[in-house]
Amino acid sequence: MRPAAFVALTALTGLVLAACAGSGDGADSTDSDGPTVVAAFYPLAYAAERIGGDQIFVVDLTPPGAEPHDLELSPSQVAQIAEADLVLYIPGLQPAIDEAITQVASDHALDVTAQIPLLPAEEHIEDGDEHADEELSGDPHVWLNPLNMSIIGQEIRDRLSAIDKTGADAFASGSAELDASMAALNTEWLVGTATCRSRDLVVSHEAFAYLAAQYNFVQVGIAGISPEAEPSPARLADIADFVRANDVTTIYYETLVDPKVAQTVAEETGAATAVLDPIEGLAEGSTQDYVTLMQANLAAVQAGQGCA
């Protein structure tokens, strides 16, 4: 969102505070009278819900079926950010939310990556690409390593305990349960990918660096960090050559992004395609959650990488 438009938008905040106190554009998880937590997108909402349970009220700003990178904020969502007890976000992932936090929430926002060592963000940007001015301090897709989700949960636990001391025991219990769940999921992935024939993970865009690093794969992205960025013909040719040279049999595409890039490489090389979900959001009508989506990703990788 452009700064001038955002300033005009935030000027409306006072008019909509009452209206959005009990409702909003994001998904509301509970009717709790406890702290209100606004999450930028699904994985952060999931972590908050696991930590806070019915002790908190969680709003997910990114609705099901929406691509988080493209999120634009309505006046009521800006008001929700302003009035929240805690706002959870990842800098650089959603520019509109970064700007909203600077304007109205710098004193109650939590960068959930602050305690996570970031991997470098490596873009494949062509001259004149509209994303060329975007600078990231690191790859923001930290949640695709379950152990990072535990760290995120611990950060949320600590902030919530400072906000609502009476709920500290419940938040500690929720954090412990999340830790156990993520440790089990990590073990499931370690065991399930230990004997894969191919360690080259060819994906439509580079959202899987943390997953690849944790489970001994090499991520090969057709496009870079931004899913909207179009790879050049030269990049597509390089990837096709890589696929042939390394006997890659599966090209992975995502649930919320057009699969045409992956399909183009697959058609050129004779490879199959499969879904590998970056879990940036839920599909409309989905009944899955972070754990079941990661388990579905594991099954896709086991099939696509020849894991015995």
- Could you tell me if 68 and 92 are in contact, meaning their C-beta atoms sit under 8 angstroms apart? no
User: What pLDDT, on a 0 to 100 scale, did the predictor assign at position 289?
Assistant: 98
Fold observed for domain 190-304 = Rossmann fold (3.40.50)
Render pLDDT for 168-214 as a digit per residue (tens, 0 to 9). Answer: 999 999 999 999 999 999 999 999 999 999 999 999 989 999 999 99
The per-residue pLDDT of the chain, averaged, comes to: 88
User: What pLDDT, on a 0 to 100 scale, did the predictor assign at position 128?
Assistant: 41
Q: Tell me whether the CATH fold assigned to 3-121+138-167 matches the one assigned to 190-304.
A: yes
Mean pLDDT, rounded, for 121-139: 58
Residue 163 in this model has a pLDDT that exceeds 70: yes
Render pLDDT for 41-60 as a digit per residue (tens, 0 to 9). Answer: 999 999 999 999 999 999 99
Among the CATH numbers 3.30.200.20, 3.40.50.1980, 3.90.1570.10, 3.40.309.10, which is that of 3-121+138-167?
3.40.50.1980
| pTM of the model as a whole | 0.88
Render pLDDT for 231-285 as a digit per residue (tens, 0 to 9). Answer: 999 999 999 999 999 999 999 999 888 899 999 999 999 999 999 999 999 999 9
Q: pLDDT band for 230, please (50, 70, 90 cuts).
A: confident
Mean pLDDT, rounded, for 60-70: 94
- Residue extents of the structural domains in the chain: 3-121+138-167, 190-304
